[in-house]
Structure 1
């Protein structure tokens, strides 16, 4: 075997190593998911968005809630019997409103109890999924986020504020159109939040939560802590079990030359 053949062989082996590693991790995930299902007597669905090296060459891709996610989760819920509880582990920065709304409606309609577990964060569309569940369980340091609509690169409440505060003569047609779309988007998302919370708290609290989450009280990336959620009247538990953290470890970030955080685990 000549030198160039050896180089090619090494290149091929290095190319397939990420794929083989990913397959091994997926097998371990399946075993742990089955263990959690047995422990909770439920169907477990994981919606975990990491920057994972999943491609043929190990190139990382950013993940968010998309139509493929909604199709997969709707299929999983549809295949779960009406008398079977569902547990959904969510770790996401958000994503498409259409996809998140479809999933939220499916969660709301499932006859048996649905629990959403948030180990770290569930922002934007992820928050809608949490609100749709019968029960929210979070790590004590985990957060949800506002669900105010985003129109292009701008928050809808801010666009509406500009249109309201400036004279029509000072606003161009494009901004006026964006203002109209923004107002409609806020109304739509607010109505959705109210429907998701219906029956979980009194009407006054539902309206207050819907206003706070959709009308730009906070920036879109503002972390809403467990304490703030409870202050809004949203029932949240913080008793996560260790298997959830173990599951999160099986969705690693894409590899780097050196870790950004390093420590020695002294807990056995």
Structure 2
């Protein structure tokens, strides 16, 4: 078969189209092998929910992921398929997402009879923190982060909307602001009630209520990073020290959005050359 210039152009175009899919498949196989190895070592069921920006579309467009109903359906199915006596390790890396989905996952985590450990390699913010509240143990790295679970209404903290309403005489508050304040009150109460529900099997009622109030009342901005020390001080069952195989697993979830701004060479002890 004779290759013309147009044939070469077509092949190059085909490679460009298929490359994201082939790369994704390769990483999927490596992840499956790594998860299988960790499961055998820890004698647990490994479930991951890793939200990174990934090139998933036909032309390599970037897709930004957050907690959604499909995540909830998949995790609930995985938990229900796990024997009652088998512990679960849930690896979370997420900026948050839909409250409904996060609450569904949290309830499924809380309902599993055996121990459930949540691993937070980097961050589990907002809805991710809500899920972590349902676990028996939260394992974080030295610099891992959790976050507040205060609801956001149209991108604004519900607590801030209520504070703005209360700062003015009622006759000076617009109808729209009153509607948003009403929604904010309901959303805050719902999230607080849900957080108390999933924590009370492990915490006394009064401590669960106090913790839920702190996390939902707008004590901090929504992107505030709760360190392991702060989370422990709040009463969460936090342990610091991620297993190396969990850290290695995270490397198999690359984020090919753009060239990294961070570069470094592997460290070599003195006396050895870096090739």
Do Structure 1 and Structure 2 share a fold, with TM-score over 0.5?
Answer: yes
Distance 2:115 2:33 in 1: 23
Deviations 1:21-42 (CA, angstroms, capped at 9, x unpaired): 1111100000000011111111
Aligned: 1:176 with 2:173: no
Deviations 1:226-264 (CA, angstroms, capped at 9, x unpaired): 0111111212011211111111000001153x4211112
Aligned: 1:220 with 2:222: yes
Aligned: 1:137 with 2:135: no
Distance 2:253 2:230 in 1: 28
**Equivalent runs, 1:99-178 vs 2, <5 Å:** 99-178=101-180
**Equivalent runs, 1:23-102 vs 2, <5 Å:** 23-102=25-104
Structure-1 residue corresponding to 2:265: 264
CA drift of 1:101 comes to 0.4
Aligned: 1:200 with 2:208: no
Distance 1:236 1:182 in 2: 30
Name whichever of 64-73 and 50-59 sits farther off: 50-59
SS at match of 2:133: helix
Distance 2:216 2:172 in 1: 27
Distance 2:105 2:85 in 1: 19
Give every structure 1 segment of 4 or more consecutive aligned residues whose post-TM-superposition deviation is greater than 3 Å: none
Distance 1:267 1:51 in 2: 32
CA drift of 1:204 comes to 3.2
Is the contact between residue 53 and residue 257 of structure 2 (CA under 8 Å) also seen in structure 1? Answer: no
Is the contact between residue 205 and residue 232 of structure 1 (CA under 8 Å) also seen in structure 2? Answer: no
Structure 1 portions without partners, runs of 5+: none
Distance 2:104 2:37 in 1: 28
SS at match of 1:73: helix
Distance 2:121 2:195 in 1: 22
Distance 2:210 2:62 in 1: 40
Deviations 1:118-175 (CA, angstroms, capped at 9, x unpaired): 0000000000110011111011110100000111121111111122221121111111
Distance 1:139 1:262 in 2: 22
Structure-1 residue corresponding to 2:245: 243
CA drift of 1:20 comes to 1.0
Q: CA RMSD in A?
A: 1.4
Deviations 1:27-72 (CA, angstroms, capped at 9, x unpaired): 0000000011111111110000001112222221110000110010
Distance 2:260 2:268 in 1: 20
SS at match of 1:63: coil
Distance 1:196 1:266 in 2: 44
Distance 2:111 2:169 in 1: 45
Is the contact between residue 131 and residue 193 of structure 1 (CA under 8 Å) also seen in structure 2? Answer: yes
CA drift of 1:194 comes to 1.1
Distance 1:91 1:8 in 2: 39
